[in-house]
């Protein structure tokens, strides 16, 4: 590559100066461009830093993370890890992170289930069901999430009856009123850990059974029946252990005491509104992903499998779903990421998530704008980067399977 260019240059030698030759060299051009960008970034950074320091000094603001260990002094409406107003700002951050992850994970579970149902329903042979699913998807996808959150919160959950006239669902196992949703909670006894171990052992054994059954099928072509074994180790054995250890589990039922329900698990109305809105919104997107994924499997695949004599159920299980999943999982995971990000809209209805607790309340109390904004963004970036790392691992595995 280089020789003909230099030969050309020597031919034009006297006409082209050294400078113009350098100017047309892509390497030097690249270096110059990078140098210019680098200098601009350094200048901009220098300006921002000095200006910010100047402005902060002027306003008497201090910087640093020492505020993390000072007392926060405000109370929080809903927390999963213990919190008192005397706790530190560092604790507030943790409460916010846990609250954000809690609502996100539950929304991810529900949205996945509901999204798959809706996606399959859109492809239903029943015209009415397909239409209903299509209308659902279009209406939900084409209205802003924040608006939906407001509608659920203001239009549904704040209009529920007060505690005295609560809805008691499933014979009082669940209670719903304008203070929130209450669920009966299991209280584990002292010896419950033995049952826990039994369940884990059962799971491990089931995985082993499945593996050996598969290996046997691949070796001999005969599929051994292992469902009864799994049932034994997964249900019967833990149950026996549970009874033998004296059934160390009791139920705490929410009961009306004074003005409100006490006992069991409780979540406030903003949580419910956020959860339902996030679930509905994301499930509409997941439904589209699922539909596209199923449609991406060629019709020939189904026909070929049927002509091999596979029953319809196994065609779905062995041919269509594995191929559809390859198209479904990457966008599905980015929807999970969207749930985590969208859960930040909680701030609009005062569910104490990370943004509400940290970027709003704590920022107003402690005033450390830069530190607080940076830590919040760092949290979301950590989540996002770890999810995309997962996605990359999955993509690599799928690619390997292709060849």
Residue pair 229/204 in contact by the 8 Å Cβ criterion = no
d(CA 40, CA 263): 60
Is 139 among the residues that bind another protein (CB under 8 A)? yes
Among 105, 106, 146, 320, binds another protein (CB under 8 A): 146
Number of residues engaging another protein in binding (CB under 8 A): 53
User: Would you say 53 or 244 has its CB closer to another protein?
Assistant: 53
Is 360 among the residues that bind another protein (CB under 8 A)? yes
Here the contacts of 230-234 (C-beta below 8 Å, separation 24 or greater) are: 230/205, 230/206, 233/201, 233/202, 233/205, 233/206, 233/209, 234/199, 234/202, 234/203, 234/206
Binders of another protein in range 362-391 (CB under 8 A)? 363, 369-370, 373, 376-377, 380-381, 383-385
* Closest alpha carbon to 148 in 332, 275, 337, 268: 275
Is 344 among the residues that bind another protein (CB under 8 A)? yes
For residue 182, the SS3 value is strand
User: Would you say 9 or 250 has its CB closer to another protein?
Assistant: 9
Is 126 among the residues that bind another protein (CB under 8 A)? yes
* DSSP assignment string, 121-169: HHT-SSHHHHHHHHHHHHHHHTS-HHHHHHHHHHHTGGGSPPGGG-EEE
Binders of another protein in range 54-73 (CB under 8 A)? 55-56, 58
User: Would you say 297 or 337 has its CB closer to another protein?
Assistant: 337
* Region of 78-86, 140-148, 213-221, 389-397 interacting with another protein (CB under 8 A): 140-148
Tell me how far, at minimum, the Cβ of 262 lies from another protein, in Å. 29
d(CA 67, CA 92): 11
Binders of another protein in range 106-125 (CB under 8 A)? 125
- The position carrying tokens 């250890």 is 245
Report the relative pairing of strands 167-169 and 265-267 from DSSP bridges.
unpaired
Is 147 among the residues that bind another protein (CB under 8 A)? yes
Is 105 among the residues that bind another protein (CB under 8 A)? no
User: Would you say 321 or 366 has its CB closer to another protein?
Assistant: 366
User: Would you say 36 or 236 has its CB closer to another protein?
Assistant: 36
Tell me how far, at minimum, the Cβ of 375 lies from another protein, in Å. 11
* Region of 35-43, 248-256, 263-271, 316-324 interacting with another protein (CB under 8 A): 35-43
For residue 377, the SS3 value is helix
* Region of 37-45, 190-198, 318-326, 393-401 interacting with another protein (CB under 8 A): 37-45
Is 188 among the residues that bind another protein (CB under 8 A)? no
* Rg of the chain in Å (alpha carbons): 30
Is 41 among the residues that bind another protein (CB under 8 A)? yes
User: Would you say 159 or 200 has its CB closer to another protein?
Assistant: 159
* Closest alpha carbon to 339 in 403, 286, 396, 266: 286
* Closest alpha carbon to 288 in 104, 110, 133: 133
* Closest alpha carbon to 352 in 268, 294, 247: 268
For 163, phi then psi, to 5°, come to -50, -40
Q: Which residues of the shown chain bind another protein in the complex (CB under 8 A)?
A: 26, 30, 33-34, 37-38, 41, 48, 51-52, 55-56, 58, 125-129, 132, 138-139, 141-147, 150-151, 154-155, 337, 341-342, 344-345, 347-348, 355, 359-360, 363, 369-370, 373, 376-377, 380-381, 383-385
């Amino acid at each position: 590559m280089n020789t003909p260019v230099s030969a050309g240059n020597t031919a034009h030698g006297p006409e082209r100066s050294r400078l113009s030759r350098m100017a047309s060299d892509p390497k030097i051009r690249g270096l110059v461009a990078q140098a210019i960008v680098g200098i601009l970034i350094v200048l901009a950074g220098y300006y921002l830093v000095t200006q910010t320091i100047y402005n902060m000094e002027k306003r008497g603001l201090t910087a640093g993370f020492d505020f993390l260990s000072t007392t926060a002094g405000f109370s929080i409406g809903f927390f999963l890890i213990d919190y008192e107003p005397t706790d530190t700002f560092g604790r507030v951050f943790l409460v916010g992170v846990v609250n954000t992850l809690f609502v996100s994970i539950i929304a991810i579970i529900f949205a996945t289930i509901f999204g798959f149902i809706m996606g399959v329903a859109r492809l239903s042979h029943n015209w009415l069901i397909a239409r209903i699913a299509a209308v659902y998807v279009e209406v939900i996808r084409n209205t802003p999430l924040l608006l939906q959150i407001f509608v659920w919160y203001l239009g549904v959950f704040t209009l529920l009856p007060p505690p005295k006239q609560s809805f008691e669902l499933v014979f009082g196992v669940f209670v719903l009123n304008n203070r929130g949703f209450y669920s009966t909670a299991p209280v584990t006894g002292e010896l419950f850990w033995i049952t826990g171990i039994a369940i884990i052992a059962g799971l491990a054994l089931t995985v082993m059974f499945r593996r050996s059954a598969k290996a046997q099928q691949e070796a001999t072509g005969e599929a051994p029946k292992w469902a009864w074994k799994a049932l034994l180790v997964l249900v019967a054995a833990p149950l026996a252990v549970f009874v033998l250890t004296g059934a160390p589990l009791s139920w705490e039922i929410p009961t009306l005491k004074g003005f409100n329900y006490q006992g069991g698990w409780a979540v406030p109305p903003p949580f419910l509104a956020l959860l339902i809105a996030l679930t509905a919104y994301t499930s509409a997107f997941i439904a589209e992903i699922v539909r596209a994924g199923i449609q991406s499997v060629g019709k020939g695949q189904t026909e070929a499998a049927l002509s091999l004599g596979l029953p319809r159920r196994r065609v779905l299980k062995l041919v269509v779903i594995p191929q559809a999943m390859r198209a479904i999982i990457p966008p599905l995971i980015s929807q999970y990421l969207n749930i985590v990000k969208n859960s930040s809209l909680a701030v609009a209805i005062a569910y104490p998530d990370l943004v509400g607790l940290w970027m709003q309340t704590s920022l107003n109390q402690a005033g450390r704008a830069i530190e607080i904004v940076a830590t919040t963004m760092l949290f979301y970036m950590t989540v996002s980067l770890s999810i995309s790392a997962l996605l990359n691992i999955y993509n690599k595995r799928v690619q390997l399977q292709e060849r």
